[in-house]
Amino acid sequence: MTSRVVLMAMTVVAAAGVIAGAGQASADVPPFSEAQGSGLDECDANRVCLYTSPRYNENAPAGSAWMWQLKSSQPNLHVAPTAGDEPDSVFNNTDSPVTLYQHYYVGLCVTVGPGRAIEDLDHYGLKNQVSSVRISTTYVCPSTGSVSP
């Protein structure tokens, strides 16, 4: 009887591990969130927030004020169907510089300092152009404003 209970417990634990593994994030699921929101106050601590409209979605029409909160670098924002080439403004609510790129860590770029924001990425030629984000204390966009492949 005891061996049957132990075997049953092991089976339950093994099944739980398979189920838990099925719920884990895969490479196709980015570690960031997407929601309706506007303003710098909507950006959680230690996150980089990207907004679909200038001025942090403050004047965005109802239903189109999307924002994304990132907690780590993202080489390809296109893994989330609505994030790639969409941001129009950004708030860096982290303690590290954040660099936004036009093409997967190359092309036009701009670095946003810790606690800083850019209300209109069009000023940098990046309106609806950002496809990747790097959070790094060791890298910033060169003074030329672009990175060669």
Residue 65 pLDDT exceeds 70: yes
- Model confidence over 82-123: pLDDT tens digits? 788 889 999 999 999 999 999 888 889 999 999 999 999 999
What is the distance between the alpha carbons of residues 144 and 108, in angstroms, rounded to a whole number? 9
Torsion over CA: 106, 110, 111, 115 (sign)? negative
- Is residue 2 pLDDT above 80, yes or no? no
The pLDDT value given to residue 135: 94
Is-contact 146 132, C-beta < 8 A?
Answer: no
Q: What are the tokens at 112?
A: 């946003």
Q: How confident is the model at residue 18 (pLDDT cuts 50, 70, 90)?
A: very low
pLDDT band at 79 (very low <50, low <70, confident <90, very high): confident
Q: Is 3.10.28.10 the CATH classification of the domain at 28-147?
A: no
Report whether pLDDT(12) > 60. Answer: no
